[in-house]
Structure formats: C-alpha cells, structure tokens
C-alpha cells in the first residue's frame, strides 16, 4: 500500500505506548511485528521511540517519565482535528474533561511536529487530539505489521457516540454487518473506528481506546507474543465473514489486539 501523508479530520492517525521499561518494550514489539526503531530525545528525561514498518513510521513508544509512575503501561490513540482549540472546547462543552490543554509538541531537535491536547469522555476514556504540522501520523495502516483498527470500549456506547460525533464532527451509527451490537464511527463514508460495550464477563475493565495491529497469522502471532513474555486476554476467535482476532497483553501488561482481515490475500 502507498504511504499515507494526510488524514481527514476526525480520523485516528497515530498511536503510542507508555512503557515503564523502554528496552523491554522495544524487544517485545520488534520481536513480535518485525519493526525497526529509531530513538528520538524529547527531553532530558524522555526518549520517544519511533517504530517503522517497511521503513515507514507506524507507531511509537516512550518510557514513563517523572509523574507518570502511577500510570499503567498502555496504548494511546490520537485523532486528527482541523482546529485543535475548537475541538478541545467542544469536548469540554459536551461534558468531557480536558486533561491537557492544547500545546506544541517539539522534540529536543527544536522542530514542532504538531499540536495536541488530551481529553476524557464522560465515561472516563482518554483520547489525544492531534493537529499535524511536520508529522501527519502513521505512514502505513491497514495491512499486516501496521495499525489496522481503533476501538473504544465503554460502559455507555450511546453516550460515547453522542460525545464523539459532537467533538470530532463525525458520524456514528450501528454496524449492520456484525453479529453483536457495534457502533461504527465514520469519517465521510469511511469507517474509522468502532465503539463496543464492555461486557459483564470482561472483569474490571475501565472505558478505554484500544488499537488493533494487522497480522498475517493470528494464531502464530499469539504464540510468538507468549514466547516474548506476553499473555492472552482473548483467545483467537473468528468474526464471521470478516476477520480473525485476538486480544493480548505485552510483557509489561499493556493491552492491544491483533487482527487478520478475510479480505487480505492469503
């Protein structure tokens, strides 16, 4: 697939991992997906690791810095917006919280790569809003080895749907093709993310935005993740006529999913 250079406003465009052990995170994900990486100093206390797939930026990770010791390892989702300040204010007006006000993101090299804010919806899920300057987001998506889907797990899909359609200026509605209740967020005519209700059998799972990475073989990837010190949250399973997926934890406990779409070549 060609490299992606722009994202429509309202579309998820990037993801990064907060880790408590940077070298361990790099070992796990490069060993699992075959990524290469490049470390970028962001401050005296933080290094931002960019992962590449086919030589193209795919996602990133960073080791927790001062004040982040209480945060568990986790993946964060970024959504591109056309007006960062306006989108942030819409989140506040819609009943959400603003965890971080709009600010420039400029690594130690001095180049402003974008502007961002961090918001929290009414159920507690956290999302990062991104206004691109020098960094549009992932240059590759929707194939094995790359980000393929984004999903909000929440206690109230109806409330979340209303919140994000207002904040992101997107459309949302039931997916008629899934055998279970599922809401699709669309940017124009294109599905961009999903919303699913947290099940009673999930255990103590807080509302959260999650990521799916494409793989050629779900079962082989699950086995490899376990060899690398990860664990299985949801065993490999099929979504009829669509995909096979599994939910995993990495070696530090951060949750992510892997998926193979039936439409991909064998």
In a domain, 4, yes or no: no
* Residue 3 belongs to a domain: no
- DSSP-derived letter for residue 60 is E
pLDDT of the residue at 126: 98
Burial label for 165, CB within 10 Å (0-12, 13-18, 19+), is middle
CATH of the domain at 74: 3.10.180.10
Q: What pLDDT is recorded for position 162?
A: 98
Give the global pTM: 0.96
Per-residue pLDDT of the chain (266 residues; tens, 9 = 90+): 678 889 999 999 999 999 999 999 999 999 999 999 999 887 777 889 999 999 999 999 999 877 788 899 999 999 999 999 999 999 999 999 999 999 999 876 678 999 999 999 999 999 999 999 999 999 999 999 999 999 999 999 999 999 999 999 999 999 988 888 999 999 999 999 999 999 999 989 999 999 999 999 999 999 999 999 999 999 999 998 899 999 999 999 999 999 999 999 97
Q: Residues 71, 156: one domain?
A: no
For residue 6, is it within any domain? Answer: no
Residues 50 and 127 grouped into a single domain: yes
pLDDT of 29 reads: 98
Instruction: Say whether both 102 and 190 belong to one domain.
Output: no
Pairing between strand 36-43 and 46-53? antiparallel
What is the domain extent for residue 116? 12-132
């Amino acid at each position: 697939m060609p490299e992606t250079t722009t994202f429509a406003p309202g579309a998820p465009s990037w993801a990064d991992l907060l880790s408590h052990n940077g070298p361990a995170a790099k070992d796990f994900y490069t060993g699992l997906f075959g990524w290469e990486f490049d470390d970028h100093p962001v401050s005296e206390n933080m290094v931002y690791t960019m992962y590449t797939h086919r030589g193209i930026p795919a996602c990133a990770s960073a080791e927790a810095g001062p004040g982040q010791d209480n945060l568990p390892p986790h993946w964060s989702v970024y959504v591109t917006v056309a007006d960062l300040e306006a989108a942030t204010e819409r989140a506040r007006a819609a009943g959400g919280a603003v965890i971080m006000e709009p600010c420039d993101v400029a690594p130690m090299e001095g180049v402003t790569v974008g502007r961002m804010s961090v918001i929290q919806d009414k159920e507690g899920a956290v999302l990062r809003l991104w206004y691109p300057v020098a960094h549009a987001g992932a240059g590759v998506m929707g194939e094995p080895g790359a980000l393929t889907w984004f999903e909000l797990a929440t206690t109230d899909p109806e409330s979340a749907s209303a919140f994000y359609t207002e904040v992101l200026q997107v459309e949302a509605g039931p997916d008629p093709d899934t055998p279970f209740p599922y809401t699709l967020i669309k940017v124009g005519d294109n599905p961009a993310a999903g919303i699913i209700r947290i099940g009673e059998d999930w255990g103590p799972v807080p509302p959260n935005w999650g990521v799916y990475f494409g793989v050629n073989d779900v079962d082989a990837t699950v086995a490899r993740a376990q060899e690398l010190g990860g664990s299985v949250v949801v065993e490999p399973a099929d979504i009829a006529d669509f995909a096979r997926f599994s939910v995993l934890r990495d070696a530090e406990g951060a949750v992510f999913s892997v998926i193979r779409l039936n439409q991909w070549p064998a």
